[in-house]
Amino acid sequence: MLENISSNKVFGGWHKQYRHRSTVLNCDMRFAIYLPPLANSQSVPVLYWLSGLTCTDENFMQKAGALRIAAELGMALVCPDTSPRGDAVADAEDGAYDLGLGAGYYLNATQAPWSSHYRMYDYVVSELPALIEQHFPVNEQRAIAGHSMGGHGALTIALKNPGRYVSASAFSPICHPLACPWGQKAFTAYLGDDREQWKQYDAVELIKSGAAPLPMKVDQGESDPFLAEQLLPETLIAAAKQMQFDLDYQLHAGYDHSYYFIASFIETHLRFHQQHFQ
């Protein structure tokens, strides 16, 4: 059911990649898991990491420097891919980086040709955790985090599933896809023209409509080239303030949108989630 395709010892634990058939996505998928040394003797909590546009399961595991901290804290990390994959899966006709392969947006598409495979929401919320909890020494304590498109995914998935995640965090998230070009393009394609349907996948709209609060942390680089047009953290801050929703938001002078920014602050995110695990 799970085909192991790589295995590397790192910080005393193990980084492993697996291939499996996803019934939800109707294609073969790859994911990566990091199991800390503590997982040799007991079940451990899991932080799910959702990556941004163009990424796979590899970017975060290789570049964020998170494994060192996960090893210390006794926390598993799980990285899914960012979209369904394979020759049978629809892609943007112009090969755009922000639609189709590598750009699943962690939602369930309703429009052809996307709806036959693009169901990353169900995959991340249900199918993947069920696999992880069946096959690996993890317990049912989950947290969720991500970057950019994956930050959007982490915040919306946590907000839509009260009690399922102890905490959520994001680097440079797409906060309000209804109001930015990336979101408008992807949501039009995946969900159609009815903007009411978009709101269920928009962190700002979910908070405004009364989603249950959970511990939430967002870090943003002030020199991020996507800040003003695509990410719109001011809309998230305003929604959180309006709804008295506790949001730990930090703006960092000089930092950009890259994994160099993530690496610089990932330790604070893992420690934030660790506080909320039992």
Chain residues that interact with a second copy, rule: CB under 8 A:
8-12, 15, 62-63, 65, 67-68, 221, 223, 254-256, 258-261, 263-264
Residue 145 beta carbon to a second copy: minimum distance, rounded to whole angstroms: 18
Of the pair 150, 221, the CB lying nearest a second copy is at 221
Q: Which is nearer to a second copy, 16 or 185 (CB)?
A: 16
Token pair 């393009």 is found at 185
- Is the torsion defined by CA of 221, 222, 223, 228 positive or negative? positive
- What does the alpha-carbon distance between residue 23 and residue 208 come to, in Å, rounded to a whole number? 33
68 three-state secondary structure: helix
Of 51, 120, 45, 15, nearest to 266 by C-alpha is 51
* Closest separation in Å from C-beta 153 to a second copy: 23
Residues serving a catalytic function are: 148, 224, 257
Q: Distance between CA atoms of 236 and 207, rounded to whole angstroms?
A: 8
Give dist(CA 166, CA 145) in Å, integer. Answer: 11
Instruction: Name the residue nearer to a second copy (CB basis): 11 or 249.
Output: 11
Q: How far is the CB of 53 from a second copy (least distance, A)?
A: 18
Q: Select 68 or 208, whichever has its Cβ closest to a second copy.
A: 68
| Smallest separation, CB 11 to a second copy (Å) | 5
